[in-house]
Amino acid sequence: RTAKSFLKDGDAKLIKKAFNVSMEAHKDMRRKSGEPYIYHPLAVAQIVVEEIGLGPTAIVAALLHDVVEDTYWEIEEIEREFGGKIAKIIDGLTKISGVFEYGTSQQAENFRKMLLTLSDDVRVILIKLADRLHNMRTLESMPRNNQLKIASETMYLYAPLAHRLGLNTIKLELEDLCLKFSEPEIFEQITAKLRETRAAREKFIRDFIEPIQRELDEQGFNPIIKGRPKSVFSVWNKMKKQKIPFEEVYDIFAIRIILDTDFEREKADCWHVYSIVTDYYTPSPERLRDWISTPRANGYESLHTTVMSKTGQWVEVQIRTQRMDDIAEKGYAAHWKYKESNTSPPQHESGLDVWIQKVRELLESDDKAEAVEFVQDFRDNLYNEEVFVFTPKGELKTMPFGATALDFAFEIHSEIGIHCLGAKVNQKLVPLNYILNNGDQVEILTSKKQHPNEDWLKFVVSSKARTRIREYLREDAKRYVAEGKEITDRKLHLLKLDGHPEIVVQLRAYFNCKSNNEFYYKMGKGLILPQQLKKFKADRIEKHINEKDKIVDAKTFEKEVTRIRGVNTDMLLIGENMDKIDYVLAKCCNPIPGDDVFGFVTVTEGIKIHRINCPNAMELMSNYGYRIIKAKWTSQTELAFLAGLRIIGSDRMGLVNDVTRVISNELKVNMRSITIDTNGGMFEGQIMLFVHDTSHLDILIEKLKKVSGIINVTRFDS
């Protein structure tokens, strides 16, 4: 029904045919929830048309997106029945299907394949995002460990990708759903508090809007004005970043003013409305954002300001036209709709096209790169804001926020980047790591004698620069490896050690190298000197190197884990039979008994136990899903585990004594360290202490909250 208005002759018939094929192909299949499988392609097709705004080709492809992967249909049959364009989209979707279970490099390769489809048809990724959105909406029926893996992967890659393609509504929903399944208690708490404060919030919005609405109506604008609540995830993010409770998050909504105005008058009308809003409410000058003159890379256009309400509360106001709002909500599809109808500003129409062209170039030039590195760099650049800088000839270049002079050099050309010696910014000499600001004019200085080194990777931020530097360093490393092997062979021959097949393994152990190539590289670069091999020989004669047997690859390790935990369970019980296998508690999150945890199989350090909400959990689960082991605690009340508490309150005499009395005297808890910082009558402290489990920690937190002057006590990751 939604698509009816734009269907041409034959479109409805083709969509019906696709539905019938999908219905027949999936007739004996059911989803994890028990419902008929056909509900899924139908839901994906609905998202594609209603929430992304795509046309009949995408609807047909969405209906058929699982047919080749899951049923007897072949891609050639799809091409015969539905044509080459639809077959190509489905082929792209089939190549990137499923949750990636095969390990990091395979997972990253699959994501790289998905990005390659940008070169052919962006609809592949848009349909994939619709597919992921419906899978996230129906994730309740999946086992808990699958929920965590899928949510982590979604937060790690799909939400940033939706953001970059301008699909703001989908991005926000994906983030909320990820929080719902990864941190269900936090999600429910914030949702409940948003519900409780809704009536007061709506009254505030009505009072705030009323004078603006009246003035705009009088001037003939007739706008749509609405209060838009912040997403649960963005509220949680703000609470975490600012270390504040829900009650102190004041900007939990934004006012959006949408104008129905002619394309030629858009900019003037938006600024006119801005002047009306700021006549009634005082603006904060440093929080003005003009994304109409310089849109974001994902095509987003809007005028943002933050003003002080009559009740003393800061309120964000977004001013945009209907065209801008469509692009903000539906991203790439809306961008193309307006572009084709010539109602998109010519100087801005290529924002998304330029980004897609950059992705294309990156993929084509980076085929030698480690897929994991590529995905990490790509992902890091998805959320980046931009800065606008100029070449010496006045050409505008858009760079990621935090970009350096060296990033700019690589943006101009790879060869210029490789030989970049420094830069002139606004006629002044600056070093390579100088961070560019909006409006800078940049001239790059080069020298044929200059070459990349590993330090460059510490400060460049753009995918292009990182990729080219790594590419150069890899080629450089190959040369050092070849030279190192030649030096080693020659020296071993002189030392009469060249007849021993195990000698290189012993050399690696002696010089603490993880691989043959690392050893040869160090030899070639002069980090290990030839005369040190003589000492190696002397030590070898003196005593045999008895290496403790180590499990050196993940598969062997997992076999050992399976043997220990038994064939009937995939749950690792921490504390049970653990003398047979190495395990450590991860220092990044300091898990203690009672925490929801998982095990991560490492190659050299045994199993690391992490909390489910560990800062690194999302990346581990999304990138290394095949090495995750479910885990839970056995009773270990005789052991003590390190935990960290953050306390905030008003400073007073004797406070530290009261805190230490509760910890040491009342609860008999041993402390490792305590630090207190005071500022303006307030204090913030961090305490590292040893507890038995989460119950023990919860009792301590509740006791500390009762100490006079303490406002908040929270656990933190070290």
475: nearest Cα among 418, 420, 424 = 418
Q: Which of 69, 76, 262, 605 is catalytic?
A: 69
Q: How many residues does the chain have?
A: 718
> What are the φ and ψ backbone dihedral angles of 715, each rounded to 5 degrees?
-80, 145
DSSP lists the bridge partners of residue 425 as 428, 442
Cβ-proximal residues to 578 (8 Å cutoff; 6+ apart), any chain:
none
Q: Decide if 70 is catalytic.
A: yes
Q: Which of 11, 50, 51, 70 is catalytic?
A: 70
Could you tell me whether strands 641-650 and 710-716 are parallel, antiparallel, or unpaired per DSSP bridges? Answer: antiparallel
Cβ-proximal residues to 333 (8 Å cutoff; 6+ apart), any chain:
52, 53, 54, 126
Could you tell me whether strands 303-308 and 282-283 are parallel, antiparallel, or unpaired per DSSP bridges? Answer: antiparallel
Encoded tokens for 549: 């047997």
Q: What is the largest CA-CA distance in the chain?
A: 97
The answer to whether the CB of 439 falls within 8 A of the CB of 388 is yes
Q: In which order are the strands placed within the sheet that holds 420-425?
A: 428-430, 420-425, 442-446
Q: How many CA atoms lie within 13 A of 47 on its CB side?
A: 26
In one-letter notation, the amino acid at residue 610 is H
Contacts 24+ apart (CB under 8 A), 391-400: 391/441, 391/442, 391/443, 392/441, 392/442, 392/443, 394/441, 398/297, 398/354, 399/436, 399/462, 400/461, 400/462
Query: SS3 for 281?
Result: coil
Catalytic residue positions, numbered: 69-70
